[in-house]
Structure 1
Amino acid sequence: MLTSGVQEALSPKAAERMQWTDEGVVLGVRKHGETSVILELMTRAHGRHLGLVHGGRSKSLQAVLQPGNTVQATWRARLDDNLGAYQVEGLNLRAARLMGSSMALYGLATLAHLMRYFPERDPHFALYETMTVLVDHLDDPDLAPPLFVRFELAMLTELGFGLDLSSCAATGSERDLVYVSPRSGRAVSAQAGEPYKDRLLKLPGFLIGQSRSNRPDEEEIRSGFALTDFFLHQNVFEPHGRRAPEERARFVALATAGDD
């Protein structure tokens, strides 16, 4: 007679757990043995997930397994908690293009660092969509900076530290929102915040559809990164005993310099 554990392992549900196919963005790889690599993906439906790629150091696969590329990956393992193995196929090999932009390279390194604050195999569907839009435009000096600020806000939301920028924390008004409270993470109007403006964070207009132009200027981008930087340090970096990656500071410097 089969034990309950063996019966469960042989069930169709268990088989489904031990094999799946999904798309994902390459976050990084590290060498394993003579010819293989351990691939780290942020997948659409299975979260940040690692797996072994046999022959991953071959020339053909090296071109596919570059950070920033989107691949289709099939993961298989004998048991659900095993490392497992990937078979991968390139879907969007944007890495070659991104390598021509120093801003994009710092952005990719920062992105990979930030994604590692999420537990492995914990799906974040909305964040994945936000991330893929960002990666598509990381080499665009006009689009990458505001998209990265929005990505960091989305990351805070997924981690349970989302900001409420919809209305004034003091009056409930939805108009003239120009500050954010560092205590509550809520927006504050110009009138309500005037007496405390030295203690409040600036709220750039592009985050609430009130930018002065179609392209946020350097001041707005700088304010956006200062906003996310404060809450990332308070709620993410410091509780883990870590600092922001150096690549983030370099990305922000390029994003606010006006050229790449």
Structure 2
Amino acid sequence: MNIETPAIVCALRMHAEHGAVVRLMTPDDGLQAAYVRGARGRRMRPVVVPGNQVQARLRSRTEEQLAHAELELVHSRAPLLSEPLPAAAIDWVTALTATALPEGQPYPRLYAALDALLALIEAAPSALGWASLLVRYELLVLAELGFGLDLDRCAVTGSNDDLVAVSPRSGRAVSATEAEPYSGKLLSLPKFVREGGAANWPEIRDGLELSGYFLLRDVLTGRTAGLAEARSRLVERLLRAGGLI
């Protein structure tokens, strides 16, 4: 391996006395694990913070060998870690990326979406400005892993009009007329999920419930099940920020 690339730090695990294994999300080479020498030192400790943008040089002699990385800080998001809600959001999305994705497979759409989400978390004056994009990122993770929802047409009629719900069994959209008899058994489909744009807090709550249901069912299982706690803490803080609990 011989790669030089921009990257987003997604996870850090201390290794040996002075180093650490980092997981980096890259635009063309997907998730990459690499050993960073001196990661615990004064110079490197501020660099290997999840959410930071870095320029990475990855080297290994064989495909089986853990790569060694040299990292140069491009942009630090460490100051956000003192703010509870942005810190919880960064912790969750980077941890999800680092653990849910297989290593070495390119996910250019996920890299671009993660980069945009982190930038918006940093720039928006409140969580209302980025929470809808968080939901869309979670749904994109599901889609890229092969668990995407079918939200283009009604599962019953085939129409793309007035889609308001999602079947928790099939992950397919349902129109208002067809959803009415099953009130309380379907997941709400907020408009911003299909069309983008701004969302209010009740819509964000519904979006989080939608993406969370399928993440818990299809992705946060086995060794990744512990991530559900980090997401629950974030969702609780978001709902409190929106005055919904």
Normalised to the residue count of structure 1, the TM-score between the two structures is 0.85
Residue type matched to 1:110 in 2? W
User: Secondary structure at 1:114's aligned position in 2?
Assistant: helix
1:66 aligns to 2:52 (yes or no): no
The match for 1:125 among 71, 87, 108 is 108
What residue number does 1:41 align with? 24
Q: What is the distance in 2 between the residues matched to 1:166 and 1:110? A: 28
User: Secondary structure at 2:115's aligned position in 1?
Assistant: helix
Query: How many Å apart are 1:113 and its aligned residue?
Result: 2.9
What residue number does 1:181 align with? 167
Is contact 2:149-2:172 (8 Å) kept? yes
**1:32-59 residue CA offsets vs partner (Å, 9 max, x unmatched):** 3332222221111222111111222222
For structure 1, which segment, 244-253 or 150-159, has the greater mean C-alpha deviation from structure 2 after superposition? 244-253
1:202 aligns to 2:172 (yes or no): no
What residue number does 1:256 align with? 239
1:94 aligns to 2:77 (yes or no): yes
What residue number does 2:65 align with? 82
Is contact 1:203-1:224 (8 Å) kept? yes
The match for 2:142 among 156, 159, 183 is 156
What residue number does 1:104 align with? 86
User: Per the alignment, do residues 74 and 145 of structure 1 end up closer, same or farther by CA in structure 2, a change over 3 Å counting?
Assistant: same
**Structure 2 unpaired stretches of 5+:** none
Q: What is the distance in 2 between the residues matched to 1:93 and 1:124? A: 23
Is contact 2:220-2:228 (8 Å) kept? no
1:52 aligns to 2:35 (yes or no): yes
Larger radius of gyration: 1
**1:44-97 residue CA offsets vs partner (Å, 9 max, x unmatched):** 12221111112222222211111100111010111122102101111222222x
User: Per the alignment, do residues 239 and 183 of structure 1 end up closer, same or farther by CA in structure 2, a change over 3 Å counting?
Assistant: farther
Q: What is the distance in 2 between the residues matched to 1:138 and 1:65? A: 19
Q: What is the distance in 1 between the residues matched to 2:69 and 2:100? A: 23
The match for 1:135 among 113, 118, 122 is 118
The match for 2:130 among 122, 144, 161 is 144
User: Secondary structure at 2:154's aligned position in 1?
Assistant: coil
What residue number does 1:10 align with? none
Residue type matched to 1:104 in 2? P
User: Secondary structure at 1:147's aligned position in 2?
Assistant: helix
Query: How many Å apart are 1:242 and its aligned residue?
Result: 2.4
Query: How many Å apart are 1:224 and its aligned residue?
Result: 0.5
Is contact 2:128-2:200 (8 Å) kept? no
The root-mean-square deviation of aligned C-alpha atoms, in Å, is 2.0
Residue type matched to 1:87 in 2? E
User: Per the alignment, do residues 108 and 64 of structure 1 end up closer, same or farther by CA in structure 2, a change over 3 Å counting?
Assistant: same
Query: How many Å apart are 1:136 and its aligned residue?
Result: 1.3
User: Per the alignment, do residues 202 and 40 of structure 1 end up closer, same or farther by CA in structure 2, a change over 3 Å counting?
Assistant: same
**Structure 1 unpaired stretches of 5+:** 1-17
Is contact 1:110-1:245 (8 Å) kept? no
Aligned residue pairs, count: 239
Query: How many Å apart are 1:259 and its aligned residue?
Result: 6.2
What residue number does 1:6 align with? none
What residue number does 2:9 align with? 26
Q: What is the distance in 1 between the residues matched to 2:23 and 2:182? A: 45
